[in-house]
Structure 1
C-alpha cells in the first residue's frame, strides 16, 4: 500500500478543527461609477455627538473590541456587509490583521474575514 505524503498545507494545518471556520469577503464589490452611500466623516450622527473617535475597521489593532458605527460604499456593498453581520451597533473584536488592512473579526459567535478594501468600508468607534 502506498502512503500519501502530507502536502505543505497539510503540514501547516495538520488537524483542522471545526470551530476554525470563518467567512471571508474580499474582491471588488465597489463600482467606481456609482456614488457612495452611508456615513462619512461629516455625517456620523450620534457617534459624533458623543465625541467617539471613528476610524475604518482596517486601522484597528488585534484584540480591539469595537462598535460598528456605519457602513460606507454603494448600496450593494452596504447590503452585503449588513447580511454578514456588520450592522451599526454590533460589537466586533479583531482576531487578526494583516499589514495591508485585511482583518478577521468576531461578531457574536461568528468569525468573519474582510479583505483590505472591504474593511475600509466598515466604520468603527474607538476600543470599548
Structure 2
C-alpha cells in the first residue's frame, strides 16, 4: 500500500485512490453502498470546512468530516 492519509486531509482538485476504511462493519457497509470501495478513484470537489463534496465514479457524494477521517487514501499515481 502506498503512503496513505485521511481523506479529510486531501486538497480540492486532488485525485486520490481509496486504500482502506478504518471503521466498524456498519460504516464500511454504508460507505461501500455509496461506491466507496478500495481502489476507487475520488476527486475532492469542495471543502468549505464542513462536509467534503466528492466526485466518485459518476456521482457526487457529501461526506462528513468524521467519516472522511476514517477513509484512508493515497495520491493517485499517473
Scaled by the length of structure 2, what TM-score is found? 0.91
1:97 aligns with 2:16: no
Q: May I ask how many residue pairs the two structures share in their alignment?
A: 77
Higher relative contact order (CA 8 A, sep 6+): 2
**What do you get for the CA RMSD once the two structures are aligned?**
1.2
Deviations 1:26-68 (A, max 9, x none): xxxxxxxxxxxxxxxxxxxxx1xxxx22101100000000000
1:108 aligns with 2:52: no
1:72 aligns with 2:54: no
SS at match of 1:85: coil
Structure 1 runs of 4+ with >4 Å offset = none
Structure 1 residue runs of 5 or longer lacking an equivalent are 1-46
Structure with greater Cα Rg: 1
Structure 2 residue runs of 5 or longer lacking an equivalent are none
SS at match of 2:43: strand
Scaled by the length of structure 1, what TM-score is found? 0.57
